[in-house]
Amino acid sequence: MAVEGGMKCVKFLMFFFNFVFWVCGIALIAIGIYVQIQLNHTLIMKNATSSGAPIVIIVVGVVIFLIAFFGCCGALKENYCMVTTFAVVLVLIFLVEIAAAIAAYVYKDKLRTAFEDSFKNGMVHYNDTKDIADSIDLLQKEFQCCGAINSTDWRQYAPFTGTNTVPDSCCKNITAGCGKGPIANINSEGCATGIDQWVKKNVGIVAGVALGIALFEILGIVFACCLMKGIRSGYEVM
């Protein structure tokens, strides 16, 4: 027996919000892939710790994408089992997101240390492969920084050991051989500081997106529960 009256409105609202979930899922997948590429090619952070965040974002995006599609089908077909499964899974996703937000807040102070360690590891291998050198140079150019903590870090690593020279990418005005020039033309701030400031500057955007998605999830759960009640009432009448 099909739902009637106000339940029809709930049904179509649930379908609408599931469509929004579907779009959010695609957005999260895209963001996760972008962050992963940036970490791997720009930050030279290819360890499990650094890759964890974008992988989680991608996984959550895929799950939301699939669940939203499942919810749309359940709403259109007025299938009690599908709608119930959708509501339960959405509650679980919401709880996981809360746990992830708490974990991110607890470990936020360790982010700078992770950046420093990863960058220093890249400096050790700067003279080994062109890919690593290109990645560090790109990072220093983009953030206008030099070294992990400051420009003097390069004195510990080949081919700059014991000298006052740095890679040309450390220069404020980049030209061939400028790394051997006067200190006034060298960026003194370390890249760990630059990256940390960039993360803090953009964390508000991430938090806003997460809050928006959480709000839609709560509304989706409410509509799913209302629709479940309407479908169940229809069964009882039959």
Q: Where are the domains of the chain?
A: 6-109+203-237, 112-192
Residue range 112-192 forms a domain whose CATH class is mainly alpha
Helices (H), 42-128: 48-77, 80-106, 111-124
134 or 220, higher pLDDT = 134
pTM: predicted TM-score of the whole model, two decimal places: 0.57
Average pLDDT, the chain: 77
Q: Are 60 and 75 in contact (CB under 8 A)?
A: no
Task: Give the chain's length.
Answer: 238
With 0-12 / 13-18 / 19 or more C-beta atoms within 10 angstroms meaning exposed / middle / buried, residue 238 is: exposed
Task: Please name the residue that has the structure tokens 């709608």.
Answer: 83
Query: What percent of the chain has pLDDT above 70?
Result: 83
Cβ neighbours, 10 Å, residue 21: 25
Q: Are 56 and 130 in contact (CB under 8 A)?
A: no
* Signed CA dihedral, 1, 79, 27, 113: sign only: positive
Q: Report the pLDDT value the prediction gives residue 170, as an integer from 0 to 100.
A: 93
- Residue 123 is encoded by which pair of tokens? 């400096």
C-alpha to C-alpha distance for 115 and 188, rounded to whole angstroms: 17
**Tens digits of per-residue pLDDT, 165-216?**
899 999 998 888 898 878 888 998 888 888 777 777 776 676 777 777 777 7
